[in-house]
């Protein structure tokens, strides 16, 4: 817990606009970054990140000031993205095929692999995708992911295993990995 965060939150609860701006600026990079990684679309990520901040300020009175603020905010962000992904999954017809989007890293092997992985993640359950992105792309520990998704660490590891399997299957189908390889356990 940071005493600075506690002071800032108290000012926010008094509706101090400068404090609200300060809190947004302090966490916007991480929140928007997570939303971009999880949703894969900048415009959707900006909309969801804005909603995350509105909800953070609505719930500030429930934040336990003896605990750090950052994971609490990131948990709200993870949950908003999860809800959004679940809704988006129900209407896949409006999704642009990410497999046709050029890789950001250019035409090198990494760019192609990243594009294939992101396309594979579009096809798995939102929980698998979130676990994968938080772990591999955001470098979050399993304990954080388990807390954010309200599941035991063991469950998160199982989801991660299944997600990697799904990604690997796609890469094999696309000829990016040899078919002769063993399955992951």
Partner 1 sequence: MNCHDFARKLETYLDGGSELRPALADHAGQCPSCREQLAWADRLLALPFAEPVTIHPEWTEQVVQAVLRDRRLRRRRRWAMTLAAAACLLLALLAQPLLRGTGQPQTEPGPLVAENQPSAPKPEPPPPPLPDLTLGSALRFGPTSLEATRNFASEAARQASSLTAAAPPIRPAPRRVDPVPDPMADLGRNASEGLEPVVRSTRRAFDAWLDLLPMPTEEKPGL
Q: How far is CA 149 from the centre of its chain?
A: 11
> In whole angstroms, how close is the CB of 123 to partner 1 at the nearest point?
17
> In whole angstroms, how close is the CB of 7 to partner 1 at the nearest point?
18
- Euclidean distance between CA atoms 30 and 153, whole angstroms: 23
Q: What is the largest CA-CA distance in the chain?
A: 63
- Euclidean distance between CA atoms 160 and 26, whole angstroms: 30
Residue 132 or 148 having the CB closest to partner 1: 132
- Euclidean distance between CA atoms 29 and 48, whole angstroms: 13
Distances (CA, A) of 56 to 49, 137, 145: 10, 24, 19
Residue 65 or 105 having the CB closest to partner 1: 105
Residue 93 or 183 having the CB closest to partner 1: 183
> In whole angstroms, how close is the CB of 115 to partner 1 at the nearest point?
11
Residues that bind partner 1 (CB under 8 A): 15, 17, 20-21, 24-25, 28-29, 32-33, 36-37, 46-51, 53-54, 57-59, 84, 104-105, 110, 113-114, 117, 135-139, 142, 157, 160-161, 164, 168, 171, 177-178, 180-185
């Amino acid at each position: 817990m940071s005493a600075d965060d506690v002071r800032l939150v108290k000012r926010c609860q008094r509706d101090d606009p400068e404090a609200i701006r300060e809190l947004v600026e302090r966490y916007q990079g991480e929140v928007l970054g997570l939303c971009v990684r999880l949703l894969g679309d900048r415009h959707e990520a900006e909309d969801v990140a804005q909603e995350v901040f509105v909800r953070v300020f609505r719930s500030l009175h429930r934040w336990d000031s003896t605990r750090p603020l950052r994971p609490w905010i990131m948990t709200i962000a993870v949950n908003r993205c999860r809800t959004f992904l679940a809704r988006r999954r129900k209407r896949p017809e409006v999704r642009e095929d990410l497999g046709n989007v050029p890789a950001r890293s250019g035409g090198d092997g990494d760019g192609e692999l990243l594009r294939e992985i992101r396309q594979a993640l579009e096809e798995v359950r939102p929980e698998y995708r979130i676990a994968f992105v938080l772990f591999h792309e955001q470098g979050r520990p399993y304990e954080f992911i388990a807390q954010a998704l309200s599941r035991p660490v063991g469950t998160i590891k199982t989801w991660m295993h299944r997600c990697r399997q799904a990604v690997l299957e796609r890469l094999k189908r696309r000829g990016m990995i040899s078919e002769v390889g063993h399955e992951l356990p």
